[in-house]
Chain A
C-alpha cells in the first residue's frame, strides 16, 4: 500500500474571472457541476470545463426586470442558497405572451435548485429522479391524473416555451431561442414538471413559496400577486379550515341523526267526516290515547280539493266534549292546470299537525273548516267539500332540532367551501369574472 502523504484533497476554487471575450468581471458562486457561464456584459457563453473558452454568444439579449440579482443569498426550507444564474422563458398562446424567470440557485449541501418567478408568484423547484407511476406523455389532456411519490397530480398545462434571456452560471449549455416542451402537473402546493429539450427529458419537483417567505429570505420587497397561480395553495388559517371541515362533518352527522330519529309513528285511528265540517263543524269518533307524554299527529286529507284552498281548525277534546286540550290550525291548497302544453300542479291536499295531551283516555277531534276556489275575488259562499279524512298516529318523532343543527352547521361550513370553489375556478381559468 502507498504511504499516504498529507495534501489538500481538492484544488482551491476559482472565485472570479474576466470574460474571455470582453474582459468583463465575472464572479463564480456555483459548484463544480457548473458547465457554462454567460457574461452579463457581452452575452458570451463560456465553457467552465475548458478554460472558459467562448462556446457561442447570446446576441441582442434584453435584460428583463429581475426582482432578485445574481449573487443574492437567502435561506429557503432551512437551506442557504445563492443565486448563480437566471433564465427567462416566453410562451405564446392565443395572442397572449407569458414570460417567467427561472433563477438557478446553488447550495453546498443541497446542490442546484430553480426559483421560478411569474406574476409575483414563486415556486422552488429541483430536479428529481421520481418518475410518474404510470406512463405519462409530455402532451396529456388537461386535468388528467397521475401519481408521483404517492401524490396525485392533475395535468395543468402542456406547452412549449422559448428561452429569451440567459445570464450567469448554468449546469448545462443553453442556446439562444432554444425551445423546451413541458408538462406541468399540480397537487397544491406541489408542482411536478416534465421538461424536454433536444434529446433530454428532466423531471422537477416544485413547491409554491409565498412572496412573504421570499421577501424575508432575500430581504427584498416583493409585489403581492393578484392572480391565482397553478400550484398556489388555498390560503386560510388552519383553525378556520378545521372548523369548516368540522362543521361539514357535523352537518352530515346531523342529517344522519335526523333520518335515524324521525318516525311517522304508529297508527291509532282514522275517520271520515262529511260536509258538516264546512257548515258548522264535524267531530271524529273517540280514539284512545294511552301514552300521554308521546307526540301524536293528526293528518287531515281533503281528497276532493281541486283548484281550491281550505283552512281547518282542529281542536282536541275529551270524550264528553267538555274540555279542550289544544287547538291546531291546518291549511291545504291544491292547484293544477296546463300551460304551454305542459301540465303543472302545486300545493297538497293534506296537512299534518302535532299535539300532546296530559292524560291517557278517550279523545275526539273537532274540525271546523272553511275554504274557497282559486283567487278570492269571486268567492263561492257555498263552498264545501264532500268529505275530509283524518288519521291519528302516536309516537311521532319530528327531529326538527337535528334538522336545525344540520342547516346551522352547513351554513357555518359553506363560506369556506364557497371560497375554495371560487379559488379553484380562478386557478383553472374558469372564473368568468376574470374575463
Chain B
C-alpha cells in the first residue's frame, strides 16, 4: 500500500511507492524533499527535466516479457556528448531496480550487494576485457557524467552537478555491468541489455 505524504512546500499529497526512498520530488511544485523518519524536509527545487518523449512514463506500468514494472523516479545524467535517463522502477513483487535509457539503448540493472573487487577507473580501457565472477566482459564505455535533474522517488540523496566516473561492460547473453566510481565509493550494478521493441505498456 502506498504511504501518503504531504509536500511541505505546496501541500500536494505525494504517494510513496517504494519501501524506503531517501529523496522525493513533488510532481506539483518540483520541490525536492529528503525523507526523514516519515517526514519530508524541503531542500530546494529540482532541475526540470526537459520533456523529450521517452519510452517510459512515471507511474505507468510497463512489461518486458514476463517482467512488469512501474517507474517511480528518474535521474538524468549528462555525459558531455549527450544524456541518459536512469529510471528507478518497482516490480510487481516489490523488487527495485534501475532502467537506463539512452535513445533506444536500454539496460535493466540492480545494485550488486556482495563486495565485488574491480580495478580502479584508470586501469580500465575501452575495448579491454575484465573477468568478474568468472564471466568475461568487454569494456564498451568509460566516461564521467553529471547529474542534471531528477523527478519522483529515489533511493539515495543526490544533488545537481554531482559528478562521477563510470565504466559500462558488456558480457555474454546481453549481460550488462556498470561500475560507478564516486569519491572513494565504488558501486556495481549488474543486469541485462534489452530490446526497446520488447517493451510494451502493461
Q: Does B178 contact A (CB under 8 A)?
A: no
CB contacts (< 8 Å) of B162 on chain A: these are: 2
Q: Does B92 contact A (CB under 8 A)?
A: no
Nearest CB of chain B from residue A196's CB, rounded to whole Å: 15
Of the residues B34, B78, B104, contact of A126 by C-beta under 8 Å? B104
Which A residues, 1 to 51, have Cβ-Cβ distances below 8 Å to chain B?
Answer: 1-10, 31-33, 49
CB contacts (< 8 Å) of B52 on chain A: these are: 10, 108
Of the residues B149, B157, B193, contact of A129 by C-beta under 8 Å? B193
Q: Does A128 contact B (CB under 8 A)?
A: yes
Q: Is the CB of A6 within 8 A of B105?
A: no
Given contact pairs A33-B102, A109-B196, A6 touches B81 in the complex (Cβ within 8 A): no
Q: Is the CB of A9 within 8 A of B81?
A: no
Q: Which residue of B lies closest to A80 (CB)?
A: B53
Q: Scan B150-183; emit 1 where CB is below 8 A from any A CB, else 0.
A: 0000000101111000000010111000000000
Q: Does B43 contact A (CB under 8 A)?
A: yes
**Once bound together, how far apart are the Cα atoms of A59 and B43, in whole Å?**
57
Q: Does A110 contact B (CB under 8 A)?
A: yes
Q: Is the CB of A3 within 8 A of B44?
A: yes
CB contacts (< 8 Å) of A10 on chain B: these are: 49-50, 52, 76, 78, 83, 148-149
**Once bound together, how far apart are the Cα atoms of A303 and B103, in whole Å?**
86
**Once bound together, how far apart are the Cα atoms of A189 and B161, in whole Å?**
47
Which B residues, 48 to 77, have Cβ-Cβ distances below 8 Å to chain A?
Answer: 48-50, 52-55, 76
**Once bound together, how far apart are the Cα atoms of A129 and B174, in whole Å?**
6
Nearest CB of chain A from residue B122's CB, rounded to whole Å: 23
Q: Does A408 contact B (CB under 8 A)?
A: no
CB contacts (< 8 Å) of A128 on chain B: these are: 195
Of the residues A5, A8, A32, A107, contact of B81 by C-beta under 8 Å? A32
**Once bound together, how far apart are the Cα atoms of A130 and B195, in whole Å?**
9
Nearest CB of chain A from residue B49's CB, rounded to whole Å: 5
Q: Which residue of B lies closest to A124 (CB)?
A: B197
Nearest CB of chain B from residue A149's CB, rounded to whole Å: 9
Q: Does A112 contact B (CB under 8 A)?
A: yes
CB contacts (< 8 Å) of A111 on chain B: these are: 102-105, 196
Q: Is the CB of A5 within 8 A of B44?
A: yes
**Once bound together, how far apart are the Cα atoms of A79 and B104, in whole Å?**
12
Q: Is the CB of B55 within 8 A of A109?
A: yes
- Considering only CB atoms and an 8 Å cut-off, how many residues of chain A contact the other chain? 30
**Once bound together, how far apart are the Cα atoms of A256 and B156, in whole Å?**
68
Q: Is the CB of B46 within 8 A of A6?
A: yes
Q: Does B82 contact A (CB under 8 A)?
A: yes
Given contact pairs A126-B197, A131-B172, A110 touches B45 in the complex (Cβ within 8 A): no
**Once bound together, how far apart are the Cα atoms of A140 and B47, in whole Å?**
53
Q: Which residue of B lies closest to A11 (CB)?
A: B50
Q: Is the CB of A31 within 8 A of B82?
A: yes
Q: Does B100 contact A (CB under 8 A)?
A: no
**Once bound together, how far apart are the Cα atoms of A77 and B200, in whole Å?**
11
**Once bound together, how far apart are the Cα atoms of A130 and B197, in whole Å?**
13
CB contacts (< 8 Å) of A33 on chain B: these are: 81-82, 102-103
CB contacts (< 8 Å) of B104 on chain A: these are: 107, 109-113, 126
Q: Which residue of B lies closest to A9 (CB)?
A: B149
Of the residues B34, B50, B170, B174, contact of A8 by C-beta under 8 Å? B50
Q: Scan A94-137; emit 1 where CB is below 8 A from any B CB, else 0.
A: 00000000000011111111000000000000101111000000
Q: Does B18 contact A (CB under 8 A)?
A: no
Q: Is the CB of B48 within 8 A of A4?
A: no
Nearest CB of chain B from residue A22's CB, rounded to whole Å: 26
Q: Does B97 contact A (CB under 8 A)?
A: no
Q: Which residue of A lies closest to B44 (CB)?
A: A4
CB contacts (< 8 Å) of A131 on chain B: these are: 172-173
CB contacts (< 8 Å) of A9 on chain B: these are: 47-50, 76, 83, 148-149
Q: Does A205 contact B (CB under 8 A)?
A: yes
**Once bound together, how far apart are the Cα atoms of A71 and B182, in whole Å?**
42
Q: Is the CB of A109 within 8 A of B54?
A: yes
The 10 residue pairs across chains A and B that have the minimum distance between CB atoms: A111-B104, A32-B82, A9-B149, A4-B44, A108-B53, A6-B45, A109-B55, A2-B159, A111-B103, A3-B44
Supplied contacts A6-B47, A111-B102, 7 more A-B pairs, CB within 8 Å: A2-B160, A6-B46, A32-B83, A33-B81, A49-B81, A77-B197, A111-B196
27 contacts between A and B (CB under 8 A): A1-B43, A1-B157, A2-B159, A4-B160, A5-B44, A6-B48, A7-B47, A8-B48, A9-B76, A9-B83, A9-B149, A10-B52, A10-B83, A10-B148, A32-B82, A32-B103, A33-B103, A49-B81, A79-B197, A107-B104, A109-B104, A110-B55, A110-B197, A111-B103, A129-B193, A131-B173, A205-B195
